Chain A
Amino acid sequence: MSAAPPRLRTGRDPEMREYRLGSAVLTTYRGWCKGCDLCINSCPASILALADDDRIEVTDVSRCIFCGICVVRCPDFVFSMRRDRSAR
Chain B
Amino acid sequence: MQQLMMGNEACALGAAAAGCNFFAGYPISPSSEIMEWMSRLLPVRGGVFVQMEDEIASIGAVIGASWTGAKAMTATSGPGFTLMQENIGYASMTETPCVIIDAQRVGPSTGMPTMPAQGDVIQARYGSHGDRAAIVLTASTVLDTYTMTVEAFNLSERYRQPVVLLLDAMLCHMRENVTVPDLEVIDRARPASLDGFEPFAGEEFLAFGDGARLIVTGLTHDEAGYQRASNGDTGERMMRRVLHRLERDAEVITHTRQESLEDATLVLIAYGITARAARSAVHKLRAEGVSAGLLELLTLWPFPERLIASVAQRAQTLLVPELNLGQVELLVRAAAGGTPVVALGRMDGSLLKPEEIVAKAHEALTNAEATI
A–B contact via C-beta, under 8 angstroms: yes
Residues of chain A touching chain B, judged by Cβ–Cβ distance below 8 Å, are 2, 4-5, 9-10
Q: What's the Cα separation between A2 and B212 when bound, in Å?
A: 6
| B368 interface residue (CB < 8 Å to A) | no
B213 touches A4 (CB 8 A): yes
Pick 13 A–B contacts, CB within 8 A, sort by A. Answer: A2-B194, A2-B211, A2-B212, A2-B213, A4-B213, A5-B224, A5-B226, A9-B222, A9-B224, A9-B226, A10-B226, A10-B227, A10-B228
Q: What's the Cα separation between A4 and B213 when bound, in Å?
A: 8
Residue of A at shortest CB range from B195?
A3
User: Which residues in A have their C-beta under 8 angstroms from that of B194?
Assistant: 2
Residues of chain B touching chain A, judged by Cβ–Cβ distance below 8 Å, are 194, 211-213, 222, 224, 226-228
Nearest chain B CB to A38 CB, angstrom units = 26
Overall SS of chain A's interface: loop
Overall SS of chain B's interface: loop
Residue of A at shortest CB range from B196?
A5
Q: What's the Cα separation between A23 and B314 when bound, in Å?
A: 88
Q: What's the Cα separation between A55 and B236 when bound, in Å?
A: 36
User: Which residues in B have their C-beta under 8 angstroms from that of A4?
Assistant: 213
User: Which residues in B have their C-beta under 8 angstroms from that of A5?
Assistant: 224, 226
Nearest chain A CB to B190 CB, angstrom units = 16
Residue of A at shortest CB range from B212?
A2
User: Which residues in A have their C-beta under 8 angstroms from that of B211?
Assistant: 2
Residue of A at shortest CB range from B230?
A10
Residue of A at shortest CB range from B227?
A10
User: Which residues in A have their C-beta under 8 angstroms from that of B212?
Assistant: 2
Nearest chain B CB to A43 CB, angstrom units = 34
Residue of B at shortest CB range from A1?
B213
User: Which residues in A have their C-beta under 8 angstroms from that of B226?
Assistant: 5, 9-10
Q: What's the Cα separation between A9 and B228 when bound, in Å?
A: 9
Q: What's the Cα separation between A5 and B225 when bound, in Å?
A: 10
Nearest chain B CB to A70 CB, angstrom units = 29
Q: What's the Cα separation between A10 and B220 when bound, in Å?
A: 13
Nearest chain B CB to A35 CB, angstrom units = 23
Residue of A at shortest CB range from B228?
A10
Given contacts A2-B213, A5-B226, 8 further A-B contacts (CB under 8 A): A2-B194, A2-B211, A2-B212, A5-B224, A9-B224, A10-B226, A10-B227, A10-B228
Q: What's the Cα separation between A9 and B213 when bound, in Å?
A: 15
Q: What's the Cα separation between A10 and B212 when bound, in Å?
A: 19
Q: What's the Cα separation between A9 and B227 when bound, in Å?
A: 9
Query: A2, A4, A5, A10 — which one has the most chain B CB atoms within 10 A of its CB?
Result: A5
Nearest chain A CB to B352 CB, angstrom units = 55
Q: What's the Cα separation between A10 and B194 when bound, in Å?
A: 22
Q: What's the Cα separation between A5 and B223 when bound, in Å?
A: 11
Q: What's the Cα separation between A9 and B194 when bound, in Å?
A: 19
User: Which residues in A have their C-beta under 8 angstroms from that of B213?
Assistant: 2, 4
Q: What's the Cα separation between A60 and B212 when bound, in Å?
A: 42
Q: What's the Cα separation between A10 and B226 when bound, in Å?
A: 8
